């Protein structure tokens, strides 16, 4: 019996346990089902919550219960959503329209009629709509319906009327009584039973005050409201803070519903009100705080941030300074001051203010987070990380801390960690647009352009009056090749902040890419003036480092117009201002392509740009890395300037570019480029081929170049790179000479070279960089000429050597220092055969050590002094020389539109591999390195003036002289030996230019170039001239249409006087000629930036003349009519 009773007890307990377990399990299942149903109750949702602040509720279709809305909840057709008092919400609709809802707003989601058409019922309140796709949207209200297609507008329903305000695009407001069409800047109002009526929109900003984001400046801690004995209202404030930290704004406000006569209370509540956009209520609380404590620094700090957010920058600065004065030991006023100073582009002042803030309140986590943000603006990634970690330690629940950490990780190319931090920040503060921007940039960096653009669109909806966000959204649309939308965003950014260069710079790049170069020039010049007169743009934010923007091919804007001299001026300014900027060096390299005898300078600036650059998608064009290609200017398959098909964002992807040319004299060429980017690694593979029969017998050329380049960022401070190049050429007698019959019918030259280059860069700190370059090259060349019989003489050359260089770059506000050392070692073997007489082999060892220091000192503000020197220790069989070279120059801007520069310096032409060096190529804009014979000593003196008269008229003049001492070997007949001697040469060069853009589709230019070369008769060089004067006057006109069509004409007058030593050694001869040459081109840019097709004609009237080309490796004049067709295609 006992056992039976025990069994019954056990069974009874088991049944009770089972019943209870079943009950709780059922409850859990119901709750889980309810939560799931609350999140999504249909197969295809029509809306998703991307920002929820305060009390936002939904009633699902077919239900009668309101449920709270959470972040990322989705909504179905028929669902109703309401935003209660002191609350806001952002909803992304299925058609990618972003809906921003104000407090006291109720909407009903309708089922889309088709894929691109969406209906929404606005019952009451205010809704802002933001969309850039051409998709239909109809908003129904009790009094008027708004039908739109791809626009930005606001609808308000209240009382007995509805109002529609259009910020951008086109809206039809209609009801049963009538309709009205609205465009940007217009509004309409409709009352019950009446047709909509147009209303004047005086202050558009007033309509979106509730949408703006006010960054936090006051760090509230519960400890601030502790009291002994405890006071009830302080406990309520502490309770409110706990709710706020959990994201429960409804209870945060409810806990402090009653007013308390304490300024701290009103400051705290004002901060809460600003977090949900209730600016008028916040202002009232701030006034109450000031009435209780007139010198309250925190209250002034809040007033400052309100003024700044509403774009009243001067007022914001004044209020922030008052706040600091009234509360010097408080961090909040200094945080507010940092925002005001940053808005005025005084980043150093902002940084100093924040350093004072953390010193005043070391435990203020918000101050540390803000300090990290501004440090990142200076590129101080390490310091920013330390400050952000400090903030995180003090308080892990501050969204700005996670935001800055996200940007730090993004700068370190740790994209996964960056996304995690941005997502944390979004959850902590769903109204903050900055983490949305960061998340968008991180997604784009990973290759998800569409997803990144959607995040940036959400950021704009959260703060529609933020010019920087508009600029970044414009960049995203540009990447997606949606030009109309990109244009509108850039224009909106210019309107919101006309003093920020960001939008002007990006819009210039956009306009150039759609064949509007004159307008691009105007925007570029505006960006330069707003950017401290620097041509290479550096973002004021710098949070994503704007890597791609610095590689956008600024020089292309100038070259499209034919304004190469203007490009040179801006290029020199950029490098001298910031020698650590890879964009500045690339800009200058592209600009040098317009000048004769600047090949060493061009490829050297290109090398420096490569060593300083981050990993990127930009392909390395083989034709640009090699010098002395002997290809007629513009006749090659690729452009001699920077790749214009680059993107404004760097993202993980592959890129392909194909270029081809075909023309007269059996000219054909192609260039194929493949490049890729994956996180910290990038690569580029390219091949180049060119061939032509030339304009006369034995004037043919065949050239093949192959290039492989790879770069790896070991960290955000350190990168390594490697490059392999091979070059094969076979050519006849190519130079154009004064005597058309003066050429060799059987001169042949073949060259084969292979080179390997290794590079290293380490950044100790922003503006403090070390770069190292090593080049190994093996060259084999053979030349065949006729001395006595056909092809009886062969000269074979073999050169094997290496060049190693190391350079340190330092940049500060007042002084830039560039110092370095290099060592060149080469073994050169020459074999000469004169059949059937003799064969001779000679060997030469060349050793060259160089070192240098250059300084650019900015003092006073409108002067830049270049002072430095170099030392060369050169030794080969012809010259053995140790030489110190002084360098001096200055650049003076008496007014912003005027630049006067002058220089005097000495150079020793040393041996180079691939014609590349790390030493600065110019002093105050005057080139140092020319294609002189090795061991040549040269002094150069120059002065120049550049003037901008208006934004449409530019002029300049440059005059310089070079005195050269050229070494050569002289054969002594008496004993049959060679002796080393020198010859004195002189070069006088002048350039002048006048550029005019009278219409937005028309550009005109006039240039004058003078060159006078005088050479000693005892050694006149290989071309045998002793005196040559050349005057050139090119007159150009360029027409560009937004349709993509362009046409240009260049008429060049040339006058040349010539004295030379006759080839038969019979004495000196002279001659002269003057003539006009007409060149023309027609081009078409394919829509979507997919490529360009060009037809060029040289010497259109087939003018015959006599002309000696003094830069035969880069010919610009063609002695007969010839046409070329060029095609470039990019993906």
Q: What's the whole-number mean pLDDT along residues 1071-1078?
A: 94
Q: Model confidence at 797, in pLDDT bands (50, 70, 90)? A: confident
Q: What's the whole-number mean pLDDT along residues 1066-1075?
A: 85
- Give per-residue pLDDT as tens, 638-654: 654 444 545 567 788 89
- Give per-residue pLDDT as tens, 492-504: 999 888 888 888 8
My answer on whether 22 and 44 are in the same domain is no
My answer on whether 410 and 327 are in the same domain is no
Tell me the C-alpha distance between 17 and 780, whole Å: 93
DSSP annotation of 386 reads: H
Tell me the C-alpha distance between 576 and 908, whole Å: 22
My answer on whether 1091 and 992 are in the same domain is yes
My answer on whether 349 and 409 are in the same domain is no
Q: What's the whole-number mean pLDDT along residues 367-390?
A: 91
Q: What is the share, in percent, of the chain residues with pLDDT greater than 70?
A: 89
Q: Model confidence at 804, in pLDDT bands (50, 70, 90)? A: very high
Q: Model confidence at 1062, in pLDDT bands (50, 70, 90)? A: confident
Q: Say if CB 560 and CB 1081 are below 8 A apart.
A: no
My answer on whether 787 and 911 are in the same domain is yes
Q: Model confidence at 6, in pLDDT bands (50, 70, 90)? A: very low
Q: What's the whole-number mean pLDDT along residues 624-630?
A: 84
Structural domain includes residue 1103: yes
Structural domain includes residue 151: yes
Maximum CA pair distance of the chain?
Answer: 144
**Where is the domain boundary, 180, 211, 242?**
211
Query: Domain containing 33: what range?
Result: 1-39
Structural domain includes residue 505: no
- Which region holds residue 1088: left if phi is over 0, alpha if psi is between -120 and 50, else beta? left
pLDDT confidence of residue 1065:
56
**How many Cβ atoms are within 10 Å of 764's Cβ, its own excluded?**
11
User: In terms of C-beta density within 10 A (0-12 exposed, 13-18 middle, 19 or more buried), how is residue 388 classed?
Assistant: buried
> Alpha carbon 459 to chain centroid distance?
21
Structural domain includes residue 72: yes
Bigger pLDDT: 101 vs 380: 101
pLDDT confidence of residue 555:
65
- Give per-residue pLDDT as tens, 915-965: 899 999 999 999 999 988 888 999 999 999 999 999 899 999 999 999 999
Q: What's the whole-number mean pLDDT along residues 582-599?
A: 82
pLDDT confidence of residue 116:
54
pLDDT confidence of residue 176:
84
Question: Is it the case that residue 157 has pLDDT exceeding 80?
Answer: yes
Q: What's the whole-number mean pLDDT along residues 1035-1044?
A: 94
Q: Which has the closest alpha carbon to 992: 975, 979, 1011?
A: 1011
Q: Which has the closest alpha carbon to 341: 323, 359, 368?
A: 323
- Give per-residue pLDDT as tens, 288-312: 999 998 888 999 999 999 999 988 9
My answer on whether 32 and 47 are in the same domain is no
Q: Which two tokens stand for residue 450?
A: 């569409």
Indicate the SS3 state at residue 1100. coil
CATH of residue 887:
2.40.170.20
My answer on whether 343 and 451 are in the same domain is no
- DSSP secondary structure string, 600-658? HHHHHHHHHHHHHPPS-S----HHHHS----PPTT-SSS-SS--TT--SS--SEEEEEE
Evaluated on CA atoms 305, 263, 239, 390, the torsion sign reads: positive
pLDDT confidence of residue 541:
43
**Where is the domain boundary, 436, 464, 492?**
464
CATH of residue 457:
1.25.40.10
Q: Model confidence at 29, in pLDDT bands (50, 70, 90)? A: very low
Q: Which has the closest alpha carbon to 1032: 594, 556, 589, 699?
A: 594
My answer on whether 872 and 942 are in the same domain is yes
- Give per-residue pLDDT as tens, 688-730: 999 999 999 999 999 999 999 999 999 989 999 999 999 999 9
Q: Which two tokens stand for residue 409?
A: 């990780």
pLDDT confidence of residue 974:
65
For 383, list phi and psi in degrees, rounded to 5.
-65, -40
> Alpha carbon 183 to chain centroid distance?
33
Residue 145's DSSP bridge partners are: 140, 174
- Give per-residue pLDDT as tens, 93-107: 888 889 999 999 999
Task: Name residues whose C-beta falls within 8 Å of residue 593's C-beta, 6 or more positions apart in sequence.
Answer: 564, 602, 640, 641
CATH of residue 144:
2.60.120.1440
Question: Is it the case that residue 545 has pLDDT exceeding 60?
Answer: no
- Give per-residue pLDDT as tens, 470-492: 999 999 999 898 998 899 999 99
Evaluated on CA atoms 743, 746, 747, 752, the torsion sign reads: positive
Q: Model confidence at 38, in pLDDT bands (50, 70, 90)? A: very low
My answer on whether 58 and 168 are in the same domain is yes
Q: What's the whole-number mean pLDDT along residues 1117-1126?
A: 93
Rg (CA), the chain: 36
The model's pTM is 0.86
- Give per-residue pLDDT as tens, 220-253: 888 777 765 667 888 888 889 888 887 788 889 9
Structural domain includes residue 986: yes
Structural domain includes residue 541: no
Residue 1095's DSSP bridge partners are: 1082, 1125
Tell me the C-alpha distance between 1024 and 951, whole Å: 46
**How many Cβ atoms are within 10 Å of 194's Cβ, its own excluded?**
15
Mean pLDDT of the chain: 86
pLDDT confidence of residue 2:
43
- Give per-residue pLDDT as tens, 47-84: 999 999 999 999 998 899 999 999 999 999 999 999 99
My answer on whether 267 and 194 are in the same domain is no
Evaluated on CA atoms 240, 241, 243, 244, the torsion sign reads: positive
- DSSP secondary structure string, 151-212? -EEEEEEETTEEEEEEEESEEEEEETTEEEEEETT-EEEEETTS--EEE--S-GGGGGGGG-
Tell me the C-alpha distance between 686 and 426, whole Å: 43
Structural domain includes residue 592: yes
**Where is the domain boundary, 187, 211, 235?**
211
Structural domain includes residue 3: yes
Tell me which H or E stretch contains 228.
none
Bigger pLDDT: 781 vs 537: 781
Q: What is the share, in percent, of the chain residues with pLDDT greater than 90?
A: 52
Long-range Cβ pairs for the range 375-379 (8 Å, 24+):
375/351, 376/404, 376/407, 376/408, 376/411, 376/542, 376/543, 377/342, 377/347, 377/540, 377/541, 377/542, 377/543, 378/347, 378/351, 378/542, 378/766, 379/542, 379/545, 379/766
When divided into structural domains, the chain yields a total of 5
pLDDT confidence of residue 223:
79
My answer on whether 831 and 730 are in the same domain is yes
Tell me the C-alpha distance between 708 and 683, whole Å: 8
DSSP annotation of 112 reads: P
Question: Is it the case that residue 1015 has pLDDT exceeding 80?
Answer: yes
For 419, list phi and psi in degrees, rounded to 5.
-60, -40
My answer on whether 195 and 219 are in the same domain is no
């Amino acid at each position: 019996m006992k056992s039976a009773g025990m069994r019954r007890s056990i069974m009874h307990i088991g049944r009770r346990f089972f019943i209870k377990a079943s009950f709780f399990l059922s409850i859990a299942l119901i709750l889980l089902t309810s939560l799931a149903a609350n999140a999504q109750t249909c197969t295809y949702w029509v809306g998703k919550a991307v920002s929820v602040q305060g009390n936002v509720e939904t009633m699902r279709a077919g239900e009668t219960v309101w449920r709270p809305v959470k972040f990322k909840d989705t909504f179905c057709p028929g669902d109703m959503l309401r935003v209660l008092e002191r609350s806001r919400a952002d909803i992304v609709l299925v058609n990618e329209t972003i809906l921003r809802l104000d407090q006291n707003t109720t909407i009903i989601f309708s089922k889309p009629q088709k894929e691109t058409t969406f209906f929404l019922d606005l019952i009451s309140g205010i809704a802002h709509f933001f969309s850039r796709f051409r998709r239909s949207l109809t908003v129904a209200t009790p009094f008027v319906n708004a039908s739109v297609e791809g626009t930005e507008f606001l609808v308000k329903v209240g009382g007995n009327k509805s109002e529609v305000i259009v910020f951008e695009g086109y809206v039809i407001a209609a009801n049963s009584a009538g309709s009205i069409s609205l465009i940007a800047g217009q509004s309409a109002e409709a009352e019950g039973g009446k047709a909509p009526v147009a209303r004047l929109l005086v202050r558009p900003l007033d309509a979106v005050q509730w949408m703006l984001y006010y960054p936090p400046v006051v760090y509230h801690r519960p400890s601030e409201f502790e009291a002994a004995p405890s006071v009830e209202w302080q406990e309520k404030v502490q309770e409110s803070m706990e709710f706020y930290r959990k994201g429960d704004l409804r209870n945060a406000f409810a806990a402090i519903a009653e007013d308390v006569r304490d300024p701290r209370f009103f400051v705290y509540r004002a901060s809460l009100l600003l977090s949900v956009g209730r600016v008028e209520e916040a202002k009232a609380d701030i006034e109450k705080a000031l009435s209780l404590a007139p010198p309250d620094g925190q209250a002034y700090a809040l007033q400052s941030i309100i003024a700044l957010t509403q774009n009243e920058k001067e007022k914001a600065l004044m209020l922030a300074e008052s706040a600091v004065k009234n509360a010097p030991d408080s961090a909040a006023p200094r945080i507010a001051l940092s925002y005001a100073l940053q808005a005025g582009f005084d980043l150093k002042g902002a940084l100093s203010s924040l350093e004072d803030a953390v010193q005043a309140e070391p435990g203020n986590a918000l101050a540390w987070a803000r300090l990290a943000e501004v440090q990142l603006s200076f590129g101080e990634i390490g310091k920013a990380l330390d400050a952000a970690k400090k903030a995180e330690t003090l308080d892990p629940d501050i969204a700005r801390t996670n935001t800055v950490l996200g940007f730090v990780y993004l700068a370190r190319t740790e994209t996964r960690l960056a996304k995690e931090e941005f997502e944390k920040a979004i959850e902590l503060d769903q109204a903050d647009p900055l983490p949305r921007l960061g998340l968008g940039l991180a997604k784009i960096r990973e290759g998800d352009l569409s997803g990144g653009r959607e995040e940036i669109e959400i950021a704009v909806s959260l703060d529609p009056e933020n010019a920087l966000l508009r600029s970044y959204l414009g960049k995203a649309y540009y990447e997606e090749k949606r030009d109309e939308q990109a244009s509108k965003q850039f224009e909106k950014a210019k309107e919101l902040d006309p003093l920020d260069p960001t939008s002007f710079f990006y819009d210039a790049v956009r306009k150039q890419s759609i064949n509007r170069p004159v307008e691009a020039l105007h925007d570029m010049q505006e960006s330069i003036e707003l950017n401290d007169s620097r041509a290479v743009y550096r973002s004021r934010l710098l949070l994503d480092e704007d890597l791609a923007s610095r590689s956008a091919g600024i020089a292309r804007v100038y070259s499209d117009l034919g304004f190469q001299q203007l490009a040179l001026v801006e290029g020199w300014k950029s490098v001298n201002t910031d020698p650590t900027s890879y964009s500045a060096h690339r800009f200058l390299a592209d600009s040098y392509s317009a000048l004769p005898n600047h090949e060493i300078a061009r490829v050297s600036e290109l090398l420096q740009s490569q060593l300083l650059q981050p990993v990127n998608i930009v392909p390395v064009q083989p034709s640009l890395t090699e010098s002395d290609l002997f290809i007629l200017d513009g006749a090659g398959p690729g452009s001699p300037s920077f790749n214009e098909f680059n993107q404004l964002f760097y993202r993980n992807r592959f890129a392909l570019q194909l270029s081809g040319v075909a023309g007269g004299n059996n000219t054909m060429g192609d260039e194929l480029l493949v490049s890729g980017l994956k996180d910290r690694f990038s690569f580029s593979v390219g091949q180049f081929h060119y061939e032509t029969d030339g304009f006369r017998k034995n004037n043919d050329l065949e050239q093949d170049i192959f290039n492989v380049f790879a770069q790896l960022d070991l960290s955000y401070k350190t990168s390594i790179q490697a490059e392999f190049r091979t070059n094969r050429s076979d050519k006849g007698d190519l130079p154009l000479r004064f005597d058309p019959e003066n050429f060799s019918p059987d001169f042949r030259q073949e060259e084969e070279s292979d080179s390997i280059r290794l590079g290293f860069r380490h950044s100790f700190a922003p503006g403090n960089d070390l770069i190292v370059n090593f080049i190994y090259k093996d060259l084999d060349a053979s030349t065949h000429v006729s001395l006595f019989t056909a092809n009886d003489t062969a000269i074979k050359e073999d050169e094997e050597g290496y060049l190693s260089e190391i350079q340190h770059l330092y940049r500060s506000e007042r002084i830039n220092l560039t110092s370095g050392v290099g060592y060149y070692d080469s073994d050169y073997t020459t074999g000469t055969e004169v059949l059937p007489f003799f064969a001779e082999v000679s060997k030469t060892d060349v050793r060259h050590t160089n070192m240098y220091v250059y300084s650019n000192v900015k003092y006073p503000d409108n002067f830049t002094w270049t002072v430095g020197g170099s030392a060369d220790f050169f030794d080969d069989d012809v010259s053995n020389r140790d030489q110190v070279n002084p360098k001096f120059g200055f650049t003076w801007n008496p007014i912003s539109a005027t630049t006067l520069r002058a220089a005097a310096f000495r150079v020793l032409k040393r041996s180079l591999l691939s014609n590349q060096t790390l030493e600065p190529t110019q002093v105050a804009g005057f080139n140092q390195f020319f294609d002189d014979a090795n061991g040549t000593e040269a002094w150069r003196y120059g002065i120049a003036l550049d003037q901008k008269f208006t934004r449409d008229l530019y002029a300049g003049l440059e005059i310089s002289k070079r005195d050269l001492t050229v070494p050569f070997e002289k054969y002594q007949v008496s004993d049959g030996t060679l002796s080393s001697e020198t010859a004195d040469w002189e070069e006088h060069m002048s350039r002048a230019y006048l550029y005019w853009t009278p219409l937005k589709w028309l550009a005109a230019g006039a240039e004058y170039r003078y060159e006078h070369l005088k050479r000693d008769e005892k050694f006149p060089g290989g071309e045998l001239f002793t005196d040559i004067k050349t005057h050139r006057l090119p007159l150009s006109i360029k027409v560009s249409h937004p349709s993509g069509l362009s046409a240009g004409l260049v008429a060049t007058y040339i006058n040349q006087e010539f004295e030379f030593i006759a080839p038969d050694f019979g004495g000196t001869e002279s001659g002269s000629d003057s003539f006009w040459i007409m060149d023309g081109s027609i081009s078409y840019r394919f829509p979507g930036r997919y490529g360009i097709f060009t037809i060029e004609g040289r010497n259109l009237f087939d003018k015959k003349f006599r002309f000696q080309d003094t830069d035969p490796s880069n010919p610009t004049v063609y002695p007969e009519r010839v046409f070329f067709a060029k095609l470039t295609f990019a993906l």
